[in-house]
Structure formats: C-alpha cells, structure tokens
Structure 1
C-alpha cells in the first residue's frame, strides 16, 4: 500500500515539475521573442536612416558640384612664392 502512495506522490511531483519547467520556458520564450521583435524594429529603423543618409549625401554631392567654380589654368608663380615664404619662416626660427 505504501508503494501506491509513493508512486502517486511521484506522479504528482513529476507533473508539478513539468508544469513549472513549462511556465519558465514560456516566460523565457516571451522575453526572447519580445527582444527579437524590438531588435527587428530597430534594424528596420536603422536601414531607413541609412537610406535617408545616402540620399542626403547624393544631394550634397550634387549641390557641391553645382556650386563648384570652374578651375582654369592657375599660374605657377603663387606656388613658388609660397615656397619662398616657407624658407623665410624657417630662417626666423631660432636655432638651439
């Protein structure tokens, strides 16, 4: 008779443990699923932001190209004058 009581208790205990494990699993699944869906939303928002930034960059490039003055042949004399100015500056630095 004791064996019947013990086996009944084991069945109830195993049933309770199964229910507890199932509840913990469902709670874990809920939080993982929630985090996953929020992550997917954030990824979609970031992709939309990236697309808008690409469009803005293209517009800025077009604006810069439109406002850019046409370069003509620049005489090389200013470049030589700049080198002479650098030499003058070096002469002014005190030596140690």
Structure 2
C-alpha cells in the first residue's frame, strides 16, 4: 500500500516539475520573441532612415552643383608654394 502512495506522490511531483519547466520556457520564449520582433522593427526603421539620408545627400549635391559659379567667371585660386600636405589631409577626412 505504501508503494502505491509513494508512486502517486512521485508522479504528482514529476507533473508539477514539468508544469513549472513549461511555464518558465513559455516566459523565456515570450521575451526572446518580443525582443526579436522589436529588433527587426528597429532595423527596418534604420534602413529607411539610411535611404532618406542618401536621397538628401544626392539632392544636396545637386543643389550645390547648380549654385556653383561657372568656372569661366571664377578666378583661378592662387596655389601656395607649400608641399601640398594640407590638401592631402583634407582629402583624408571622412565624410558623414
């Protein structure tokens, strides 16, 4: 008789542990899934922002080119006798 009661208690404890593991697993899955979907939304927004910035840069370049004075009317800049290190440094500055 004792063996029947002990096996029932073990069976109930086993089911209880399984239920707790299931609930913990569902909670973990919920938070992982939520963070994944939020990350995907943020990536989409960043890609859209990048696309808009590229279009703005293209429009700004066209605007600057259209507002430039013609080369015929502009005087030639006077070149200094330096070795040109300053000009090379300016070319190396990264564009944002």
TM-score bracket for the superposition, by shorter chain length: 0.7 to 0.9
Query: Residue 7 of structure 1 corresponds to which residue in structure 2?
Result: 7
Structure 1 gaps, min length 5: 87-96
Query: Residue 90 of structure 1 corresponds to which residue in structure 2?
Result: none
1:73-84 counterparts in 2 under 5 A? 78-79=78-79, 82-83=80-81
Deviation at 1:2, TM superposition (A): 1.1
1:12-91 counterparts in 2 under 5 A? 12-72=12-72, 78-79=78-79, 82-83=80-81
Structure 2 gaps, min length 5: 83-96
Q: List structure 1 segments (4+ residues) > 6 angstroms apart after TM superposition.
A: none
Cα distance in 1, alignment partners of residues 49 and 25 from structure 2: 36
Matched residue count: 81
| TM-score, with length taken from structure 2 | 0.74
| 3-state DSSP of counterpart to 1:70 | coil
Q: CA RMSD in A?
A: 2.1
Cα distance in 1, alignment partners of residues 63 and 36 from structure 2: 40
| TM-score, with length taken from structure 1 | 0.74
Q: Choose between structure 1 and 2: higher helix proportion.
A: 1
